[in-house]
Chain A
Amino acid sequence: MELSNIVHYEFVQRAFLAGILIAAVTSILGVFLVLRRFSLIGDGLGHITFGSVAVVMLIGISPVYITIAALPLVMLSSLAILKLTQSKRIQGDAAIGVVSSIGIAAGIVLASLSYGYNLDLFSYLFGNILTVTRVELIIALGVFITVVAVVIVFYDDLLAVTFDEELAITMGIKTKRLNVMLFLLTAVSAVLAMKVAGIMLVSSMLILPPLTALQLSLSFKKTIFASVIFSLLSVIFGIMLAFLLNLPAGGTIVLINIGFLLFTFGAKKIVASPGKEK
């Protein structure tokens, strides 16, 4: 099937648009998360999304509204992760592990309680960008606008808190408010990213583009831009390749991201090696 013919379909246009918006959002938030060592929050929230979708399906909400219905639970869980990471009794990565386990365990148990929706639930594990609804596209656009606005308005505060949270407190920056904002936006993005890459690969969309951009040793602003560009390229080429070669879009997008990371990693090593010998 020719790509030029396919793009005339409304659901394909929605897939591209949603993919681009979600890729931009996850790659921007990812820069802050990776640098603050919250990389695995995507995994945690992905697993929580699995549990939340199971709850929503058990209640019997229409599949069209599943993403929206799962949002409150995932957002609450993101705040629980934040609270746990701030606790002196449990380390950040372990806190994510705890909440993540609850999500996946609840999902599995709830799935076993109702044989009827097992297949639907497990389809969320791998995502399907072609099933993006109009409502989800509108949410993606809203989240995109919110994230861009938050980063522009709070850029200086976000830079300071990412550099050193304690130092940011002494500058009078409301770090708690910023953290809540960052985690809630990440929660919404994780639910949306589930449609693009699937629950199993949500964290890749948050981690891989920023990590690739960081290999370029750019300034903070340029790193954010580079992260967005890598993410957009992976989604656009990923969806196109998936159509042309009949591959799952989520996995293809992530593999392209991995390709970018390996390329920049290798290029950086080659560029750095002559200096090392001196």
Chain B
Amino acid sequence: MPEEVIRVDDLTFCYNGTAVIRDIFLTVKRGDYLGIAGSNGSGKSTLIKNILNILRPSKGTIHLFGQPLSAFNQWHKIGYLPQRINALNYHFPGTVNEIIQLGKPQNNPADVKNVLGLMGIVHLSEKLISELSYGEQQRVMLASTLIKKPELLIFDEPTTALDPETRDTFYSLTGEMNLQGTTVVLITHDTGIIGKYARHLLYLEKKVIFSGTFKDFCVSPDMTGFFGLDSQHMICHQHDKEGNKHHGIE
């Protein structure tokens, strides 16, 4: 039986006395590709930040790779790409090379060059990250996540600023990494991408309103009741469009 990479039991997180997410149960096993979707403010990023020890749960427990979060120390197994909207300090003086190697500066130069090549940013390696466009910065951050070759990849809206070609490269790459055993958790508004690549979908609206395969989601009477038939069809149709655009993993 595959190892449990993430286990969340009865998680509730409150901010100023109000529950942002509540009663969350979640298990992600080694090799899974989980897509997390939900509307704005549904608690997707909050859930991930609780799992990654950035926020402290108000209630419930979290285990990573079988260890309680409070005792977990194998952070090298996790690659996380946060949602970044203008969060980067405009004056930050780090070069692309320095940022790529954050937290793991002893990378093999060939690996660095390889991952820079995959993201199409070899020519930017000595540039300051603050001088790059948002799309280029996002590619640098993706490269910095991928170079760690983590066992668990967690992406929070990773491709919002990327051109379609780089976006496709990114999802193909993460899809291949998943096939080779890397566990992937992807937060995105783009349910088409989830339908195309993820094996499981978790739909959040402060609590879990759906957990299962995308196919089940599209035919679930509960989800028809929640979204209405038209919206549910639209979400599933987006998946079809993504299916026509991409070649690969399904």
Contacts and interface: CB of A to CB of B under 8 A. Distances in A.
B66 interface: no
Contact of A159 (B49, B73, B88, B102): B102
A160 B73 contact: no
B16 A168 contact: no
Interface stretch (A95-103, A215-223, A248-256): A215-223
B102 A167 contact: yes
Contacts of B15: 88
Contacts of B88: 164
Contacts of A214: 91, 93
B247 to A, nearest CB: 32
Interface in A138-180: 156, 159-160, 162-164, 166-173
A164 B93 contact: no
A35 interface: yes
A166 B54 contact: yes
Interface stretch (B35-43, B76-84, B177-185): B76-84
Interface residues of B, number: 30
A61 B245 CA distance: 78
Most buried by B among A162, A172, A222: A172
A171 B102 contact: yes
A219 B94 contact: yes
B94 A172 contact: no
Contact of B102 (A35, A88, A163, A222): A163
Contact of B95 (A35, A168, A219): A219
B128 interface: yes
B53 interface: yes
Interface residues of A, number: 25
A163 B95 CA distance: 11
A218 B93 CA distance: 6
Chain A interface SS verdict (over half): helix
A254 to B, nearest CB: 21
A167 B75 contact: no
Interface string B95-132: 10011001111000000000000000000000010010
Contacts of B105: 156
A88 B80 CA distance: 24
A184 to B, nearest CB: 23
B87 interface: yes
A245 B95 CA distance: 43
B91 A173 contact: no
Given A156-B105, A172-B75, A217-B131, A163 B80 contact: no
Nearest to A173: B103
B80 A159 contact: no
A164 B82 contact: yes
B30 to A, nearest CB: 19
Given A35-B91, A170-B52, A172-B76, A219 B98 contact: yes
Contacts of A168: 103
A185 to B, nearest CB: 21
7 contacts: A88-B16, A166-B49, A166-B52, A167-B80, A170-B53, A170-B78, A172-B74
Interface of B: 15-16, 49, 52-54, 73-76, 78, 80, 82, 84, 87-89, 91-95, 98-99, 102-105, 128, 131
